[in-house]
């Protein structure tokens, strides 16, 4: 009977290890989607304090436009919502929408979503998120039709 008890404890520990990922060395990536389509993200600079590994990684990006310059935009209809979520919910999130170098504006996250503008064009979204373990920067590109 003792053997099965230890097996049960081991199984629970393994499950907890994979669910909570205590050894993560970087912030969780956001899940971004619009109109049923996943939108790929680019990871920027971050600092993260993991259980066994603490690190800061500086990427050579100036802003959200620079981060997404090699990305293919995901087509989204005007005035539609883009859902943004994280596996581990951050304590704070700041989002900036870039149309070009002179046209950047802070956008509000409402109910884990932002609304794309009415105007057609290509927009880069830059996300800055903070957790108790650190912070991270991410970006994605959309084309509004």
What CATH number corresponds to the domain at position 44?
2.60.40
SS3 of residue 3 by DSSP: helix
71-94: string of b/e by CB count within 10 Å (b at 16+)?
bebbebeeeebbebebeeebeeee
pTM confidence score: 0.83
Q: Is residue 100 part of a domain?
A: yes
Count structural domains, the chain.
1
pLDDT given at position 100: 86
Q: What is the pLDDT of residue 57?
A: 95
- pLDDT for position 14: 56
Q: Is residue 10 part of a domain?
A: no
Residue 44 lies in a domain: yes
All residues at 6 or more sequence positions from 76 whose CB lies less than 8 Å from its CB, including other chains: 34, 35, 37, 82, 116, 142, 143, 144, 145
Structural domain contains residue 84: yes
Does residue 39 form part of some domain? yes
* Structure confidence by residue, pLDDT tens digits, 84-125: 999 999 999 999 999 988 889 999 999 999 999 999 999 999
Per the domain annotation, does 12 fall within a domain? Answer: no
Query: Could you list the residue range(s) of the whole structural domain that residue 74 is in?
Result: 24-144
Q: What is the mean pLDDT of residues 48-67?
A: 91
Residue 139 located in a structural domain: yes
Could you identify the residue written with the tokens 């060395």?
25
pLDDT in the model for residue 101: 84
């Amino acid at each position: 009977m003792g053997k099965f008890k230890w097996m049960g404890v081991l199984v629970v520990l393994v499950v907890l290890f994979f669910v909570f990922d205590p050894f993560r060395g970087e912030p969780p990536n956001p899940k971004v989607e619009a109109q049923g389509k996943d939108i790929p993200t680019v990871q920027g600079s971050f600092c993260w304090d993991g259980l066994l590994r603490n690190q800061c990684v500086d990427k050579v990006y100036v802003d959200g436009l620079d981060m997404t310059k090699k990305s293919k935009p995901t087509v989204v209809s005007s005035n539609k919502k883009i859902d943004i979520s994280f596996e581990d919910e951050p304590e704070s999130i700041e989002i900036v929408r870039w149309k070009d170098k002179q046209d950047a504006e802070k956008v509000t996250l409402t109910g884990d979503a932002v609304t794309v503008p009415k105007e057609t064009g290509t927009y880069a979204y830059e996300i800055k998120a903070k957790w108790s373990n650190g912070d991270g920067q991410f970006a994605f590109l959309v084309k509004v039709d």
